Amino acid sequence: MTDIRKRPWHIIIEGAIGVGKTTLARMLREHYDSGLLLEVFEENPFLAAFYGDRERYAFQTQLFVLLSRYRQQQLVPPLLKQGSLITDYMFDKDWLFARLNLRGDEWEVYQQVHGALSAHIPAADLVVYLQADTDVLMGRIAQRDRTYERDMDRAYIDDLRQVYEQFFHEETGTKVLAIDTNQLNIITRERDFHAILERINGALQQGTFQQALPEFDLLENEPGRPPPARPLQAYQKMHVELDETKGFNTNVYFNYLCLSEEMGELGSELAEVWRAQEAQVAAGHDEAQALQTALGEKRADLESELADCMAYLLKLANYTGIDLEEAYRDKMNTNRGRTWAKH
């Protein structure tokens, strides 16, 4: 399996008007410290007139946008030489709009021009397709309040959403990651953004957004190298202080029972995730996507229960006189030299 981190990658964010493509692209750019190529639409002199009279201005608008996007796409190869790149549109996006807006000879002419240009467009590594219901799209369009979108026709947005759905259910030739954004708000809820990050990283064959575990023997002090940070040791010290200031029960057996209770609560949350995933799968959703949807709904509860479990592990380490980070390091170094039978 190719490790895509060893070369620059190109991610495209797509979806209907108002779904949040540019917002996500900007946030991903900041997270990955990548390049960013955004769609230029304010420069289109026909756009405002098109929203007022689609039939009259459709052909001029579509050809202008097609040529504009083609010129922008010529920037992709040189930008990829500088590093990874995120864009908030795909070249075929204009074909989707034209399919909805053009008829007869105009559609035939458009397809010929599009076909000639598309042969020179480089493929992306991943298309992130953001989905949302029509009412959600209309609400987001109203919220961002762009002047030329104030009279947006709901029927047009609904037709466009359906064209997108049909397109991405067909073979596109590029890996597509579909994400339902109806219940997500990446601006106000950081966990929603992290949930999307996790799925994108998985699609890029990077695993989750947690970095790979370090080689533990390389963390030992070396001449001229400062000692490594000890975050778990700091957390253990914090719990000693909490016990003293809050008067918590420090009996080792009592805290073991508390840990067992928290593990049971974590198990209950995971059971709900499993049931929600099974319901999604039964409704026809992909198993991996169903899991991510179920996890997204319970992520806050899982975070809380996992944090409680960690707190009691740290407390038990204190009460038994164990440096948990050192014990973990030693155990993992031992495990690295072991082999396990495959089942």
Q: pLDDT of 69-118, one tens digit each? A: 888 899 999 999 999 999 999 988 888 888 888 999 999 999 999 988 88
- Mean pLDDT (the chain, rounded): 83
- Alpha-helical regions (H) of 132-204: 134-144, 154-169, 190-203
- Kindly indicate the confidence band of residue 211, based on its pLDDT and cuts at 50, 70 and 90: very low
Give the rounded percent of residues in the chain with a pLDDT score beyond 90. 36
CATH 3.10.129.10 fits 4-203, yes or no: no
Give the residue with greater pLDDT, 105 vs 333.
Answer: 105
DSSP string, 294-328: HHHHHHHHHHHHHHHHHHHHHHHHHHTT--HHHHH
* pLDDT at res. 220: 44
Domain boundaries, the chain: 4-203, 230-336
Give the strand order in the sheet containing 85-87.
Answer: 35-37, 85-87, 10-14, 126-131, 176-180
Sign of CA dihedral 295, 299, 305, 309: positive
**pLDDT at 88 (0 to 100):** 93
pLDDT tens digits along 17-68 = 999 999 999 999 999 999 999 987 657 777 778 878 888 888 988 888 888 8
pLDDT of residue 221: 43
Q: What is the pLDDT of residue 41?
A: 64
Q: pLDDT value at position 143? A: 86
pLDDT at 44: 75
- Model pLDDT, residue 3: 41
336-342: list long-range contacts, CB under 8 Å, 24+ apart.
Answer: 336/216
> Using one digit for the tens of pLDDT, what is the confidence trace for 282-302?
998 888 888 988 898 889 899
Cβ atoms < 10 Å from Cβ of 244: 10
Question: Is-contact 177 151, C-beta < 8 A?
Answer: no
For residue 231, pLDDT over 80 is answered with: no
The DSSP 8-state label assigned to residue 33 in this structure reads: T
- Asked if domains 4-203 and 230-336 share a fold, the reply is no
pTM, rounded to two decimals: 0.56
Query: Which CATH architecture is the domain 230-336 placed in?
Result: Orthogonal Bundle (1.10)
Give the model's pLDDT for residue 213.
Answer: 36
Is the model's pLDDT at 322 over the cut of 70?
yes
